[in-house]
Amino acid sequence: MNRVIAFICIWEYRVRPDRLDEYERAYGPEGEWATLFRRAPGFVRTELHRDRDDPLRFITIDCWETQAAWERFRADDAAEYEALDARCAALTTSEREIGRFSAVA
C-alpha cells in the first residue's frame, strides 16, 4: 500500500572515514534511526543517499504522512531521539539540517 508523504526532513552528514560502515548501518532504511521512527504513527520511510562525487557526504530523507505526526514523534520520543543522536555523533564530523519540507499539491 502506498502511503501519502506530506512532510519530509532532510539532513546532511560528513562521515568519518573509519566509521563509514557503522554510519551506513545506523542511518540506512533498516538502521537504528528508522527503527526508532517506525514506532511512531505516521512514519513512512527513511532514505539514505551518498554524494556521487564525495563518498563521505550523505543526506537522509525522513518521510512522514504529516508534519503533525513528526511533531508528535519528536515530543513523545525526545529522550530516545537525543540518546541515539548522542551515540551517533561519533560517526560523523558534521551534521546539519537542510530543511523541513511539505508536499506541494
Residues in a beta bridge with 63: 8, 45
Residues 2 and 25: their CA atoms lie apart, in Å, by 25
Dihedral over alpha carbons 27, 96, 42, 40 (to 10 degrees): 60
On the 0-12 / 13-18 / 19+ scale of CB atoms within 10 A, 15 is: buried
Confirm if 92 and 69 have CB atoms less than 8 A apart: no
Q: How is residue 58 annotated by DSSP? A: E
Q: What percent of the chain has pLDDT over 90?
A: 93
The predicted-structure confidence for 65-96, as pLDDT tens digits, reads as follows 999 999 999 999 999 999 999 999 999 999 99
CA distance 27 to 60: 8
> 46-55 pLDDT, tens per residue?
999 999 999 9
pTM higher than 0.85: yes
- Considering the segment(s) 7-102 as one domain, its CATH architecture is 2-Layer Sandwich (3.30)
